[in-house]
Structure 1
Amino acid sequence: MKKHVVIFEARGGSDKGKYGYRRDSKPIIESLNKRGWSAEIVFYDDAHRGEIYRHTQNKADAYISRVNPGNLPNEVGYFQMLRELVNNGVEGLPHPDAMVAYGAKNSVERLKGTDMVPEDVYTYYDFDALKENFPKSLLKGVRVLKQNRGSTGEGIWRVEVIDADKYKKTIPLTAKLKLTEARDNHTEEKTLQEFLEFCIQYLEGENGMLLDMPFLERIKEGEIRVLMLRDQAVNVVHKKPADTPDAFSATLFSGAKYRYDKPDQWPELVAVIENTLPMMQRRLGNYDLPLIWTADFILDTDKKTGEDKYVLGEINASCVGFTTHLELSENIADEVLSLLDAESVVNQNWPAFNR
């Protein structure tokens, strides 16, 4: 073994510290150093892709991807490089295809029908599908439409038909909508036609898509984010939106209040995740679980039993942060070395199991 790990980052973005890199990357390096391994941060850009590839392949046993694809002008070259590294023996944490499978918004739709996702969830990949099907969704009530890219609530819209009682069978393109964006909870009014045309921007380019979900009123009680280290829940963040009439965003920027809990304070939710993991892996491509990932949940009420249930709203697997619990770098380093040790002795043509 070379006993070296490369941590990929992208320049820019709101997740960086004073010197341009993520504040929670250096603790990973320090924790690896304590275990006799070296590590470094490499900033990816397309212009130096070949040089970065050769450096990583020659020097590293593994990479850890901490790049938000939204911070890259074009993510295609980055994912191509990661696939080449994995194909040539560098361990991918996570594998680039796992990053796409878990991190894309359509991962929620692919899990519908499980204990975490209701059937009333749809993904649109082109304008014709959006125009045909989204008005039908609006007949059922208030919806949330999420773009595949972006962060901190950008391009996540709560969509409510004004005077909805007037429309029984169809919602015309001239119907007025009240729109609230999760980025800052600001509201706008557009006709359905205007909003559909506005959403074309979210369907363009590589991996363009929109996720259509029912709006859950109990978001007012808070969104629950579970931070996972592969198959272990290690932290829970309860994010309560600002106490204003239109607020539904759980981002700090929008005024949400955060509370940090231990997983054992949420035993029912952790049990739901653990019980669903095998099915989640199968439905999302049978890849190894990402090294660090999160699952966001909102409380709902089961119409049949009247009991609480947790609904999955989103999975994040690209560049999950843990700045409020930097001690988790110790767990991360242990998991990285355990994984690489297993990879060094097991023939991957006949693996013992998939985690």
Structure 2
Amino acid sequence: MKKIIFFEVAGGTDKGENGHRKDTMPMVNALIAKGYEAEVIFFDVEKREEIRQYMLANACAYVSRINPGNLVGEVEYFAMLRELCEHGIVGLPHPDAMVGYGAKDALVKLTDSNLVPTDTYAYYTMSDFFYQFPKALLHNERVLKQNRGSTGEGIWRIQLAEAVPTSATEVPLSTKIKCTEAKDNHVEYWKLGEFMLFCEQYIIGQNGMLVDMPFLPRIKEGEIRLLMLRNTPVNVVHKKPAEGANAFSATLFSGAQYRYDPPILWEKLITDFLAQLPMIQQKLGGYDIPLLWTADFILDTDDNGQDTYILGEMNCSCVGFTSELSLASKVADEIIACISEKRSLA
């Protein structure tokens, strides 16, 4: 029997005293207890060829436990994973699924569903940004999200801080705006054009982009995160922002309060979301649904005054479950199921 390999990277604040992520070894040990061979390899771009050869000779599957944005050699890592998948090694997840589900512009691919507002845009160039964003801001408050970063860094709520002429078709670049960053809910005042130039740092560079969507005021009631094990929700985290007029961030760093709920308490949201999973899977590249991933929702109100849920973000690059390590056995069962399904199709 070939091995199931878990990829990690050395160092980082997410590691325990043994050098591993706290949720990695529980999964490894759960697989071993179920009769499978499993081990951890620390990816090092300098040892890429050695690792590739070892995987081709010894592995039946890999589980990626690396946040690509923090990895030296991200391009090489993804290229190696693609090659391994092409050789029949089961990828959990496939590297292009990591991109499809994890990149912020996944939202733009879903605007023709009821999950994402139609006025949601992705900007890959400053020209596109300057063309569309002043028009969008004229109609409602906006949220800009950079593709990189974490814990709310580079996510900005944008509000007009002064009136705009009623005849305007877009917000003039000289208009004063109020900008609140989700990282810590701090407020800055800018002129629109100057702030947009400041945002160039988010657009330039590899995988640079900005996603622009309407601000949803009911974020104050909390963000709802589904932790998914493939197509099964295993828990729900209700993340309520801190009190305060400017607070909208749902991160622990910003003072948000977290509550862990059983999925049954969010039955309507989950039923609607699961019904749309085949559509989401197709629009995000047709790859297998990731092993562990999250989907974040914000409450909104539809035209009939009924509650609805807007998808704000998804992540599948390296979703952790350190607060619920008892899930390790379930995850191990799902890994085994993925391998068995691939074998039956071979």
Once residues 176 and 73 of structure 1 are traced to their aligned partners in structure 2, the CA distance between those partners, rounded to angstroms, is 39
Correspondence 1:308 to 2:307? yes
Once residues 13 and 194 of structure 2 are traced to their aligned partners in structure 1, the CA distance between those partners, rounded to angstroms, is 30
Once residues 269 and 44 of structure 2 are traced to their aligned partners in structure 1, the CA distance between those partners, rounded to angstroms, is 39
Once residues 323 and 227 of structure 1 are traced to their aligned partners in structure 2, the CA distance between those partners, rounded to angstroms, is 12
Deviates more, 1:186-195 or 1:231-240: 186-195
**Do the aligned partners of 1:76 and 1:206 also contact (CA within 8 Å) in 2?**
no
Once residues 137 and 103 of structure 2 are traced to their aligned partners in structure 1, the CA distance between those partners, rounded to angstroms, is 23
Aligned partner of residue 327 in structure 1, secondary structure: helix
Q: Which position in structure 2 is the counterpart of 1:75?
A: 74
Correspondence 1:27 to 2:35? no
Q: CA deviation at 1:15?
A: 2.7
**Do the aligned partners of 1:161 and 1:176 also contact (CA within 8 Å) in 2?**
yes
Aligned partner of residue 333 in structure 1, secondary structure: helix
Q: Which position in structure 1 is the counterpart of 2:103?
A: 104
Across the two proteins, how many residue pairs are aligned to each other?
345
Once residues 164 and 216 of structure 1 are traced to their aligned partners in structure 2, the CA distance between those partners, rounded to angstroms, is 21
Once residues 19 and 172 of structure 2 are traced to their aligned partners in structure 1, the CA distance between those partners, rounded to angstroms, is 49
**Do the aligned partners of 2:105 and 2:122 also contact (CA within 8 Å) in 1?**
yes
**Do the aligned partners of 1:144 and 1:215 also contact (CA within 8 Å) in 2?**
yes
Q: CA deviation at 1:50?
A: 1.4
Once residues 53 and 164 of structure 1 are traced to their aligned partners in structure 2, the CA distance between those partners, rounded to angstroms, is 59
For the aligned residue pairs, the C-alpha RMSD in angstroms reads 1.4
Q: CA deviation at 1:115?
A: 2.3
**Do the aligned partners of 2:141 and 2:159 also contact (CA within 8 Å) in 1?**
yes
Q: How does 1:79-98 map to 2 (within 5 A)?
A: 79-98=78-97
Q: CA deviation at 1:74?
A: 4.7
Write out per-residue CA displacement over residues 272-297 of structure 1, whole angstroms, 9 at most, x where no aligned residue. Answer: 11111011111111111000110000
Once residues 207 and 342 of structure 1 are traced to their aligned partners in structure 2, the CA distance between those partners, rounded to angstroms, is 32
Name the % identity: 54
Q: Which position in structure 2 is the counterpart of 1:248?
A: 248
Q: CA deviation at 1:21?
A: 2.2
**Do the aligned partners of 1:139 and 1:169 also contact (CA within 8 Å) in 2?**
yes
Once residues 123 and 177 of structure 2 are traced to their aligned partners in structure 1, the CA distance between those partners, rounded to angstroms, is 19
Q: How does 1:20-59 map to 2 (within 5 A)?
A: 20-59=19-58
Once residues 22 and 179 of structure 1 are traced to their aligned partners in structure 2, the CA distance between those partners, rounded to angstroms, is 35
Q: How does 1:1-355 map to 2 (within 5 A)?
A: 1-2=1-2, 4-166=3-165, 168-302=168-302, 304-347=303-346
- With normalisation by structure 2, the TM-score equals 0.96
Structure 2: segments with no counterpart, 5+ residues: none
**Do the aligned partners of 2:164 and 2:175 also contact (CA within 8 Å) in 1?**
no
Q: CA deviation at 1:12?
A: 3.8
**Do the aligned partners of 2:164 and 2:171 also contact (CA within 8 Å) in 1?**
no
Aligned partner of residue 16 in structure 2, secondary structure: coil
Q: Which position in structure 2 is the counterpart of 1:351?
A: none
Q: CA deviation at 1:40?
A: 2.0
Aligned partner of residue 236 in structure 2, secondary structure: strand
For 2:170, the aligned partner's letter is T
Once residues 197 and 212 of structure 1 are traced to their aligned partners in structure 2, the CA distance between those partners, rounded to angstroms, is 15
- With normalisation by structure 1, the TM-score equals 0.94
For 1:274, the aligned partner's letter is L
Q: CA deviation at 1:226?
A: 0.2
Once residues 161 and 86 of structure 1 are traced to their aligned partners in structure 2, the CA distance between those partners, rounded to angstroms, is 48
Once residues 181 and 58 of structure 1 are traced to their aligned partners in structure 2, the CA distance between those partners, rounded to angstroms, is 48
Aligned partner of residue 242 in structure 2, secondary structure: coil
**Do the aligned partners of 1:11 and 1:71 also contact (CA within 8 Å) in 2?**
no
**Do the aligned partners of 1:146 and 1:155 also contact (CA within 8 Å) in 2?**
yes
Write out per-residue CA displacement over residues 313-335 of structure 1, whole angstroms, 9 at most, x where no aligned residue. Answer: 00001000111111111111001
For 2:50, the aligned partner's letter is E
**Do the aligned partners of 2:116 and 2:310 also contact (CA within 8 Å) in 1?**
yes
Aligned partner of residue 139 in structure 2, secondary structure: coil
Structure 1: segments with no counterpart, 5+ residues: 348-355
**Do the aligned partners of 1:31 and 1:330 also contact (CA within 8 Å) in 2?**
yes
Once residues 164 and 37 of structure 1 are traced to their aligned partners in structure 2, the CA distance between those partners, rounded to angstroms, is 65
Once residues 99 and 307 of structure 2 are traced to their aligned partners in structure 1, the CA distance between those partners, rounded to angstroms, is 31
**Do the aligned partners of 1:62 and 1:90 also contact (CA within 8 Å) in 2?**
yes
| Shift in CA distance, 180/45, structure 1 to aligned 2, threshold 3 Å | farther
**Do the aligned partners of 1:226 and 1:294 also contact (CA within 8 Å) in 2?**
yes
Aligned partner of residue 79 in structure 1, secondary structure: helix
Q: Which position in structure 2 is the counterpart of 1:353?
A: none
Write out per-residue CA displacement over residues 44-77 of structure 1, whole angstroms, 9 at most, x where no aligned residue. Answer: 2322211222222222111111211121245211
Q: CA deviation at 1:38?
A: 2.4
Aligned partner of residue 107 in structure 2, secondary structure: helix
Deviates more, 1:283-292 or 1:184-193: 184-193
